[in-house]
Amino acid sequence: MLRRLIRPARRLPIWLILSVTAPFLLEVVLHLWRYSVPRPTSELDTPFFTSCQEPDVDAKRENAVLVMLARNHELEKANKTITSIEQHFNRWFNYPILFLNDEKWSPRFIEVLNKTARGLATFEVVPQQQWTFPEGVDVNAAKQNIKEQGERGIPHAGEEGYHHMCRFYSGKFYQLDVLKRYKWYWRLEPDVDFTCAITYDPFVQMARHKKVYGFTIALWEVGKSCPSLFRSMADWKQMMGVPTNALWKAMVSPSWMPFPFRRFMSWLPYRDARGDEWNLCHYWSNFEIADMDFFRTPAYQDLFEYLDRKGGFYFERWGDAAVHSLAVAMLVDPRKVHHFEDFGYRHDHLYQCPANAPGGQLPDSRLLGSGTWAPEMDNGIGCRCECDGRTTSNHPGFCLNRLKEPTTIKRPWFTWFL
């Protein structure tokens, strides 16, 4: 009986099989092609400098501030960061440093950090209404959900304050009265090492080259922390009619499922309504040099308010890094995003370490002074980097290469461990 049932299928002519499957295969190929990132004809985002510069201590500064969100108990880690950035950058450029806390600052913290910052620091407390649950959120349900997220082992998701921090940095931060006077900011975190001399003013160069957002490290987001974030952002993008640019395409892994079956994939996490998937790549936002006017635009603020109403900052653990990254990919010309690949940077266990530029260390510079640094290497771009430039990073290079595709002609075949 079974043989009789399956026998006709064996006799289907090959032309019939091909005629049925060919349209689906063609549709898949065209769909994948639509999400391919065009290769530019030239490098669109190169380092501002590729060797040490004599710091221009008399040049005009941009309207900028260095910002750190910290707690009183993080005094030692915060002091480590400020010591590092003072040594490697701010001793020449003297930008103000703003410390933010959701609680009152301890006199000891203010005393130590103000001394390290040479009196350039101010200390502010985040207004309570900007560090709490938004209106319309069931607070008891949110707190219970936060507890359950922590029990599931999602990093930091069991900490209520971390959720407030992610929401704050995603939108309310840019509306702080104390920041409204500034255009540019450089985000700092406690426990950071800058391992190369930064002998030029990155704010000036960002403005000169019409950049909006600068980063050092790109990597994967923890997927289970934000399963519905991409769908929410893609829905807003579609609702507002925002055109798809090359950087948004770089964020997406298009589905291989043919239409109309592809739409069933939208039920899965990290998918948009069409069933295409966010590859989870994002900029690591503990380092950002950015134009705050972008985050203050009506478009970005409307996006944030839309996300805020969704409740994902609490019922999931939507991170500010992922929100910033997807918003930049959606709303910013890729040519206005800059990779500070000449900066040596470490936070937590991840780092970026450029090799030192051959013949470009200015050993006789009076302003830079004496010191020791790692050996110079061919094709190096760093300035007096203390880290070992033979290993430029200690994390997979897939996301960095993927997010740089819109602005570089380089397309490495093997990027997993670069």
Give the CA radius of gyration of the chain. Answer: 24
The rounded distance, in Å, linking the Cα atoms of 358 and 52 is 10
The rounded distance, in Å, linking the Cα atoms of 306 and 327 is 12
SS (H, E, C) the chain: CHHHHHHHHHCCCHHHHHHHHHHHHHHHHHHHHHCCCCCCCCCCCCCCCCCCCCCCCCCCCCCEEEEEECCHHHHHHHHHHHHHHHHHHHHHHCCCEEEEECCCCCHHHHHHHHHHCCCCEEEEECCHHHCCCCCCCCHHHHHHHHHHHHHCCCCCCCCHHHHHHHHHHHCHHHHCHHHCCCCEEEEECCCEEECCCCCCCHHHHHHHCCCCEEECCEEECCHHHCCCHHHHHHHHHHHHCCCCCHHHHHHEECCCCCCCHHHHHHHCCCECCCCCEECCEEECCCCEEEEHHHHCCHHHHHHHHHHHHHCHHHHCCCCHHHHHHHHHHHHCCHHHEEECCCCCEEECCEEECCCECCCCCCCCCCCCCCCCCCCECCCCCECCCCCCCCCCECCCCHHHHHHHHHHCCCCCCCCCCC
| Residue 26 identity (one-letter amino acid) | L
With b for 16 or more beta-carbon neighbours within 10 A and e for fewer, the 86-114 pattern comes to bebbbebbebebbbbbbeebeeebbebbb
| The one catalytic residue among 288, 316, 386, 405 | 288
74 given a catalytic annotation = no
Task: Enumerate the active-site residues.
Answer: 288
